[in-house]
Amino acid sequence: MKLVHISDIHLTAPGERMGGLNPHKRFAQALDDVRSEHSDAKRIIITGDLTHWGEPAAYATLVDALNDLPCPVRLLIGNHDDRAAFLAAFPDHPKDSAGFINHAETVDGTRLIYLDTTAPCTHAGHFCAARRDWLENELKDCTSARLFMHHNAMPLGLPAEDKIALVPEDRALLAKLLTTYRDRIEYIHFGHVHAPVHGTWCGIPFASVRSTGNQSFPDLSEQELLQGAPMAPSYAVILAQDTGTTIHEIPFTWDGPVFSTGTNWDDWAKPMAAE
């Protein structure tokens, strides 16, 4: 099963820039690349920060952009989103009984679980008892699951960035829950950090993906300020198979040279000067 993971598209009202770039253009480039290169994907999953300021006009551009795609799109919200404005733009979008944008589906035998880790007026992640109960209800009945969320639930060794990870009180209880079901959770996928970060947590592998906009710079000592740079974006292609998971970062804005080389031994032989 091939899944496309896009994150932190930060759409604005039309004509407004975000961090010096046009987020609509970047998102359109990413979707065009998916259309041309990954039309065999089963899902396109966008893990939050759909908009930059949570404005209805920005959500309207998202509604318009999600057309002519090769597979269903699944949406999560992030700290830059506004739940009410999101639901106004996507009135039929699934949500749980408490009103959180938690939803799930089974694709190729794997439960894909999309989580809502947001709370109003904070950039940090939250996952309260009601949401944990909802998640446990999903996990207890499945044999194989893959979690998608906006926030990093775990600290990443980046002191400033970690200030807006999932808050510690919710983290500990989520860790307890995930540890209980770790044998059936294949992977945790998230966004939020605008960088590819990989590791394990609660015995479960995790991976984040870059933003389609600006990137963060991994500063392991900075205590207060998030570090960013206009480095190249990517989205991820996740190959989820019975034998394991492979994740590729797709540099969809690259337009420089691409070298082709064969794989035979002689294909890499050192060129000899003409006799």
Partner 1 sequence: MKFIHLTDTHVVGDGTLYGQDPAARLRAAVASINAGHGDADFVVLTGDITHWGDAAAYARFSREIKALNMPVHLLVGNHDDCCLWCGFPRDTP
Nearer to partner 1, 20 or 259 (CB): 259
Binding string, residues 56-85; x marks residues near partner 1 by CB under 8 A: ------------------------------
Nearer to partner 1 among residue 107 and residue 231 (C-beta): 231
**CA-to-CA distance for 190 and 137, rounded, in angstroms?**
21
- Among candidate residues 42, 43, 60, 64, the one with its CA nearest the CA of residue 51: 60
Helix (H) or strand (E) holding 57: helix 56-65
Angle of helix 168-180 relative to helix 129-140, nearest 10 degrees, comes to 10
**Cα distance between residue 101 and residue 86, in whole Å:** 10
- Kind of pairing between the strands at 235-241 and 2-6: antiparallel
CB contact at 8 A, 15 and 57: no
259 binds partner 1 (CB under 8 A): yes
Please count the helices (runs of H) and the strands (runs of E) in the chain. 6, 13
User: CB 247 → partner 1: shortest distance, Å?
Assistant: 16
274 binds partner 1 (CB under 8 A): no
Please check whether residue 71 is in contact with residue 41, taking contact to mean a CB–CB distance below 8 angstroms. Answer: yes
Give the shortest CB-204-to-partner 1 separation in angstroms.
21
From the list 121, 264, 268, 273, which residue makes contact with partner 1 (rule: CB under 8 A)?
A: 268
Residue from 15, 20, 120, 257 in contact with partner 1 (CB under 8 A): 257
224, 270, 274, 275: which one contacts partner 1 (CB under 8 A)?
A: 270
* Per-residue contact flags (x/-) with partner 1 for residues 168 to 207, judged by CB under 8 A: ----------------------------------------
Nearer to partner 1, 257 or 262 (CB): 257
Give the span between the Cα atoms of 18 and 13, in whole angstroms.
10
The answer to the question of residue 264 lying near partner 1 (CB under 8 A) is no
Report the alpha-carbon distance of residue 71 to residue 17 in Å, rounded: 29
Near partner 1 by CB under 8 A: residue from 220, 229, 232, 239: 220
From the CB of 116, what's the least distance to partner 1, in Å? 34
User: 76 in helix, strand or coil?
Assistant: strand
Query: How many chain residues bind partner 1 (CB under 8 A)?
Result: 5
Q: What residues make contact with partner 1 under the rule CB under 8 A? A: 220, 257, 259, 268, 270
